[in-house]
Structure 1
């Protein structure tokens, strides 16, 4: 009796896991954050105390734990993702502390004020990041729960709209769920859940979105009966803008869906039709709803009411003008003159004290993060992972454009927060979940590939098989 020879297993050489490089970059991020904090304390004549060392050690320990989770459970993940976010988070903490000093809410023995609360939310966010990295063994598991994620995301979007104003409305927008002592902004989590749903549906129903209709102006238009998903996304985004008075979330969710649709189909016609629908809805909303009209008028001419509705935008523009090219220096400006500077307008505070050069550096960090996310989307081998990584990266890019465009008067101000920098627990938690999913996908893209070689295959045939399996 003869036995069949076993097929040898070949492991394709993978990129180095670069975990030591990640650890070095985390230490560099901690150094920059510490120096920035010391500069703020010195320029504000607060004195250097040992309490600051406690925060520095805590910051290092916190991201050290996150690094260990990645090293153990996602060793082939992109080494730049976590350090870049750690630096953005650290600079955000420093700037929030600076704003606390301007408002007189910081304590003499430490950070105090909202900076302490943000540090607590950072602790929770990094813990959630580690949990997702540990228990999400494979990003493809999320595709199984695509419809559950979509339903949950829609429910979270609807809840603030149906709650009484005293439980859901702040600063004129019904986007909160308020509990005794704290509140959450469910739209921050909806964007991730809906992206998972969109990616799962686009993979399962790709033929529906790629079916061509009439050819007009060099574009293959979709068939009218295939427009239902786009119309549903449009109705949901307009509903958020109208009933929750949240322009930022409406634009972010709809633009993210269009970006994901374009990535999946590579057809510009979907984007053109989608933008036309959104433009039409925005024009109608402008003429019908007062809160939309006020936002647009403040964008068009904030100096028409500089002490009233346009005050925040006017002060933001003055902050950028004061900062100039190199800024006033950390701790030397007057960022407290901009209302809600620690949340919606933290970019204005950065532009004043770090100037155009410093703001460009911060935007470059976001650009690195977005590019690495897109490279992950290109490198990962499954369609769901490609769409999800591309969608998450596109969402970051769109949100950054909406935030920076709003505070610089390029587009109407939206009320969105700057990821990982602005004060806010919901935003910080949701963005750390987003980061954890990106880390997981990048691990799947970079890890070694195990292939099986046929017993009698020639080296050339085996190489061809390996290439096919890699693709």
Structure 2
């Protein structure tokens, strides 16, 4: 085993050791013993992570190896906190989360084996658009869609609920990357300057207007500010990568800001979130139902009680916050791990995001560059909106924290996102094929011969002899 492979497996094993220590400490403090059922489940998950690492060595040998350990740690921290909350509420969400993790690892394993060349996704750009829009709008189908927490973004299958928007973002990323790659030259042409920025031409505003209307439609019909904002931000960021024009970013920001201001005035569910953000400690807004600020304030108190080092795993009261294992899991972790633990979590996200950005910069294929940047911007924006909403930087959006929040849809979709980044990084890190000196000489002679033939063709022939 080479030194690089040894470092890679060491990172993975080190992440597993930290994860096991977290589970062990939490169970000892809350239950007094380590349940056998959890030991078996954790063992299965560990074996599957090692199997996935082996598949990467076999089928994606040049792939980035820092993403997988970070994903493992984030999943372990989130599942530990979910299980810790189960100890207080008597639920079994943590066990289900481990089962969803196994399913996600199987899906990523199939992706690593089957998707040897990610560029094949470009052939299905319009199919991806249709599938993405169908998934996005499927909660509006009568009898299939479910409204939970005021947002109609779920579809029901028996006793289970699936959030199709999590998978829609991946298919729409395929379509956006393909469309912008094909039309990047037209979109990059600049128009008039405004405030020192080269603005796009008016006739090129069609795509961003269409996506803006689609995002506003999600906001109005499904009452989902988070998904609406995420899709529009993903498209605008990919548009900037494709064209390099800051004017697109300015137009996108102004357009969405106007849409949100109008929506806050017209639609009550959006206005409630803005009021709770601006005046969370107002007694009238705090006690208002629906749309009160009690959840936000309780989460802030949880963060404050954690302080710098936290109360310790199993020694806080995270279950006091509503949706503590999903929407507010960042607050729950902050109470028991403190500011130090939260910063460590953010660093794990930064490593994944920076790895994706490095991949986007290294890859020479334009489609791969756009796809990698779109996926990584989506994750970065999702982390920002969740953390920003909990800490009152921005209004709550209803998005979930990738890899940590409870829910199978979010977990599987974000594992697929990480798998795609890993596959693209394999192409970006592949060494250039070595070319021998003989090959260089042969190519040089071929170029000289072609040049000589062209020059001869340009020279007019002279007719020898006297009489015509």
The answer to whether the superposition gives a TM-score over 0.5 is yes
Residue among 247, 272, 279 paired with 1:301 = 279
The separation in 1 between residues aligned to 2:420 and 2:262, in whole angstroms, is 37
The separation in 2 between residues aligned to 1:218 and 1:374, in whole angstroms, is 27
Deviation digits for residues 192-238 of structure 1, max 9, x if unmatched? 11111111111111122111111222111111110000001110111
Q: Residue 382 of structure 1 aligns with which residue?
A: 365
Alignment partner of 1:302: what SS? coil
Give how far 1:26 is off.
Answer: 1.3
Does the Cα contact within 8 Å between 1:154 and 1:190 map onto a contact in 2? yes
Does the Cα contact within 8 Å between 1:403 and 1:413 map onto a contact in 2? yes
The separation in 2 between residues aligned to 1:133 and 1:377, in whole angstroms, is 19
Is it true that 1:103 corresponds to 2:103 in the alignment?
no
| Structure-2-length-normalised TM-score | 0.90
Residue among 63, 66, 69 paired with 2:49 = 63
Is it true that 1:172 corresponds to 2:155 in the alignment?
no
Residue among 63, 80, 83 paired with 2:66 = 80
Q: Residue 190 of structure 1 aligns with which residue?
A: 168
Give how far 1:374 is off.
Answer: 0.5
Q: Residue 246 of structure 1 aligns with which residue?
A: 224
Q: Which runs of 5+ in 2 are unaligned?
A: 446-468
Decide whether aligned partners of structure 1 residues 186 and 50 sit closer, same or farther in structure 2, where only a CA change above 3 A counts.
closer
Q: Residue 435 of structure 1 aligns with which residue?
A: 418
The separation in 1 between residues aligned to 2:280 and 2:329, in whole angstroms, is 19
The separation in 2 between residues aligned to 1:425 and 1:56, in whole angstroms, is 17
Q: Residue 393 of structure 1 aligns with which residue?
A: 376
Is it true that 1:33 corresponds to 2:9 in the alignment?
no
Decide whether aligned partners of structure 1 residues 459 and 409 sit closer, same or farther in structure 2, where only a CA change above 3 A counts.
farther
| Structure-1-length-normalised TM-score | 0.90
Give how far 1:314 is off.
Answer: 1.0
Residue among 226, 232, 254 paired with 1:276 = 254
Residue among 371, 376, 382 paired with 2:354 = 371
Residue among 273, 279, 286 paired with 2:264 = 286
Decide whether aligned partners of structure 1 residues 52 and 174 sit closer, same or farther in structure 2, where only a CA change above 3 A counts.
closer
Is it true that 1:228 corresponds to 2:206 in the alignment?
yes
- Note the aligned Cα RMSD (angstroms): 1.9
Deviation digits for residues 435-461 of structure 1, max 9, x if unmatched? 111111000011232255573736998
Decide whether aligned partners of structure 1 residues 201 and 303 sit closer, same or farther in structure 2, where only a CA change above 3 A counts.
same
Q: Residue 299 of structure 2 aligns with which residue?
A: 316
The separation in 2 between residues aligned to 1:127 and 1:223, in whole angstroms, is 46
* Over 4 Å off, 4+ runs: 49-52, 451-454, 458-462
The separation in 1 between residues aligned to 2:438 and 2:111, in whole angstroms, is 40
Q: Residue 114 of structure 1 aligns with which residue?
A: 93
Alignment partner of 2:117: what SS? coil
